[in-house]
Chain A
Amino acid sequence: MAEPTPPSWVRVWRGSSQGGEFLDYKVPGEPGMVVLDALLYIQANYAPDLAIRWNCKAAHCGSCSAEINGKPRLTCKTRLSEFEGQIITVAPMRAFPIIKDLVTDVKWNYEVLKKIPPFQPQPDAKEPWTIYQRDIERAQEFHRCIECFLCQDVCHVLRTHRKMAEFAGPRFLIKLAALEMHPLDTGQRLEFIKDAAGIGYCNITKCCTEVCPEQITITDNAIIPLKERVADEFYDPLRWLLRKLRG
């Protein structure tokens, strides 16, 4: 029925924190095949101990992140047909320490999450809450995040400058934005956003927005508005004076 699909050569990084190398595997073609299919084929047929992370295989869970021909992507959503005639190189995310093969240590992200001041609803809001759709569109956009950490991987503040101690990264800036933009939230997070989350480190290169598999407009819709709020709060001379007076 369909035309036969040619086999692909997939070059996979194999190794651990001690070092490693790229190994080439030949994978028979099947229509619609994605990189994760190829990796699972390699696992079942050539390398049973090939370490990969995956769960849903439908781009809902954000587990199977890797760098495919140098670009941070979900392996379950990247079709082999995009690379016809080329060798497909799959490497682990570079921003995080390697555990084995394509699996990296992403625990740092969960540590950051723990520090984020949680949702604090208005204590006296009448239940059940009345919330209008138009007031939550933006926060719902950020709730689409599947925590694949591709934005963290591509962000040069983390990837190149290793500012893990000073900067929360795009994933958690949208988390903070979602909390800040919840219509019933009363939490005070601007100081956290400025200091602990280090929003000043972001210089708006929008790399995070480009790699987001959920098409969240991270920079324009989350980071820039947060930067503005921080600027209003801490760098507006009038507010500065008021704060001084209040002590």
Chain B
Amino acid sequence: MERYETHEYDVVVIGAGGAGLRAAIESSHRGAKTAIVCKSLLGKAHTVMAEGGVAAALGTLDPADSWKTHFVDTLTAGKFLNNWRMVEIFCKEAPERIYELERWGALFDRTPSGQILQRPFGGHTYRRLCHVGDRTGLEMIRTLQDKGIHQGIDVFMETTITRLIKDEDGRMAGAFGYVREDGRLILFRSKAIVLATGGLGRIYKITSNSWECTGDGFALAYEAGADLQDMEFVQFHPTGMVWPPGVKGVLVTEAVRGEGGILLNSQGERFMKRYDPEKMELSSRDIVSKAIYLEVKEGRGTPHGGVWLDITHLPPETIKRKLPSMWEQFHKLADLDITKEPMEVGPTTHYMMGGVRVHPETQATSIEGLYAAGEVACGLHGATRLGGNSLSDLLVFGKRAGEAAAEYALAMRALPKLDRAQVAQEERLLLAPFEREGGENPYALHSELQELMQERVGIWRSGKALAEALKTILRLRERASLTSITGARMYNPGWHLCRDLLHMLDVAEMITRSALERKESRGSHTRDDYPRPVDDPWGRVNLVLRGERGEMRIRQEPVPPMPPELWQLFESQNQNQNQNQNQKKEEPVKHG
């Protein structure tokens, strides 16, 4: 007798943020029977938190913008570790994905002539971020959610997948997990799986990420034997709240700087002029984060260990219209009126550039039938991600993953035969915390892991600290296999955390091992024992991890070489930029 319910689909999408929803819409549109499985209620995924905007070279305000400039900007920020083909596809297709959202009902802010309004953002040469005030993610997820449910996708809310199941030939055959509501176990049999599980911020103490971002997808893919890449590149967003303690890490959108906000240290100095005199506050995120880190470390920080972010020079009504959520957030949570006083901000763990290695055209992973899109996938961003690129990433590659998964599934006659032993093994692992008594408290272990990652595997890394961190992670893993939990299976967060912890520890180990291996500083990865970027070999290789438990293996692989016609863009872009510099500078933007 089976102790779990079983569902059958052509395509199962895990995760209902932007990438998952876009993939499911595409898959279902192409005629595949599609389910979407998500840990929370529909519409609550982390995409909802995205604030500043979605990057696409529409050129509504700066007609000189094109996919080519977007391409150059993205690779430059990524320090050329990006997969060039992914970047090319991305920059060419992003505009169409934005117009498509509009056709599905999204209402972006407008220019005076009725086009989509675009705002400047760090590292983008032109005004490129389409937005809805500072609530862009909400608009995106709601639009996709509505489109999805009207298209007949089946939604399994508050359902957590804890293992991918393969058939005996190693092809994807399904996914297994539990339903939060009553703790019942659930098995999905499917021909293809799309991973769209988002990020891993919750392994750090200070993060902008919601509770869901426990790195499940990285661990699920790894356990199934997929290749992962660039796991050393964790993005620390320069501006998170630092006070009061309960909101430490909550995001302060880059749009504050995009709209003109300036950064000051405790001496009132606009310190970015020492780190990037040209781009100043709109330098790329890794540079601004490191600058803030150093200002605080060298004693020029604010009372709560951050720096000042000041936008009080703008008229109060402009601030409230352009940054309504920020005004509300500081007003409600920090008793601060951002139209009158500067905000106190510091770096917060925000995004994972690395992830599951995918084919640039189809998002196929190294496992047959497994696809990945969005933050869990890797290749687009390289060593640093530009703000706004993640939202268009979800749309462009969500669609492509859904398309490829549907095509693969529809070409297959019968459902692959599950390896039942894998299901039985996962069932035992899941239920074990109920059978142990007096074991470790999962909350305490989680908190230890967060402290460790924050201190030793954060913005500023050293070989010694990383090696120690690795040892501690391995010890924590032993302890995490001995957690115990009270209560029943019905909606029991402590029990859920016991399993999440194992995933988080996998991911922590991947980051730490990769960070140890990369002996240089590049993009978001900074080593004080190797402070400079080194071209040979590090500028030319990605680090690839091999899954399938046992011992974690890392190998170096050359970054795919870029064809000469794309290299040329960098030269012509430089010339164009110099010419355009003066024209584009002060074109007034009226709003509303």
A: residues with CB less than 8 A from B are 1, 16, 30-34, 37, 43-45, 48-63, 77, 79, 99-101, 103, 105-107, 110, 113-114, 118-119, 121, 127-134, 136-137, 139-140, 143-147, 179, 182
Q: List residues of chain A with CB within 8 A of the CB of B146.
A: 113, 118-119
Q: List residues of chain A with CB within 8 A of the CB of B429.
A: none
B: residues with CB less than 8 A from A are 40-46, 48-49, 58, 99, 102-105, 107, 109-110, 112-116, 132, 135, 137-139, 142, 146-147, 149-150, 155, 157, 181, 210-212, 243-247, 250-251, 303, 325, 328-329, 332-335, 441-444, 447, 485-488, 490-495, 497, 591-592
CA distance A127 to B592 in the complex (A): 21
User: Closest residue to A45 on the B side, CB-wise?
Assistant: B443
Show 27 residue pairs from A and B whose CB-CB distance is below 8 angstroms, ordered by the A residue. Answer: A37-B246, A44-B443, A48-B441, A48-B442, A48-B486, A48-B497, A49-B485, A49-B486, A51-B490, A51-B493, A54-B211, A55-B44, A55-B48, A56-B48, A60-B48, A61-B44, A61-B49, A100-B491, A107-B157, A121-B103, A129-B102, A130-B113, A131-B110, A132-B110, A136-B110, A144-B138, A182-B107
B494–A63 touching, CB < 8 Å? no
CA distance A49 to B442 in the complex (A): 11
B105–A182 touching, CB < 8 Å? yes
CA distance A76 to B444 in the complex (A): 22
Q: List residues of chain A with CB within 8 A of the CB of B329.
A: 58-59
B433 → A minimal CB distance (Å): 10
B150–A77 touching, CB < 8 Å? no
A139–B150 touching, CB < 8 Å? no
A106–B41 touching, CB < 8 Å? yes
Given contacts A32-B333, A52-B493, A132-B114, contact A60 B105 (CB under 8 A): no
Q: List residues of chain A with CB within 8 A of the CB of B497.
A: 48
Q: List residues of chain B with CB within 8 A of the CB of A110.
A: 41-42, 149, 155, 157
A59–B102 touching, CB < 8 Å? no
A60–B485 touching, CB < 8 Å? no
CA distance A30 to B240 in the complex (A): 19
Q: A110-B155, A143-B132, A145-B142 are in contact. List 4 more A-B contacts (CB 8 A).
A: A1-B303, A32-B333, A55-B211, A63-B44
Chain A facing B: main interface SS: loop
B138–A146 touching, CB < 8 Å? yes
B210–A57 touching, CB < 8 Å? yes
A33–B246 touching, CB < 8 Å? yes
User: Closest residue to A37 on the B side, CB-wise?
Assistant: B246
CA distance A77 to B147 in the complex (A): 30
CA distance A44 to B332 in the complex (A): 25
A48–B494 touching, CB < 8 Å? yes
Choose one: A49, A61, A128; the contact of B487 (CB below 8 Å). A49
A58–B251 touching, CB < 8 Å? yes
Q: List residues of chain B with CB within 8 A of the CB of A147.
A: 41, 43
A133–B110 touching, CB < 8 Å? yes
Q: List residues of chain A with CB within 8 A of the CB of B494.
A: 43, 48-49
B495 → A minimal CB distance (Å): 7
A55–B333 touching, CB < 8 Å? no
Which of B46, B138, B157 has most chain A Cβ within 10 Å?
B138
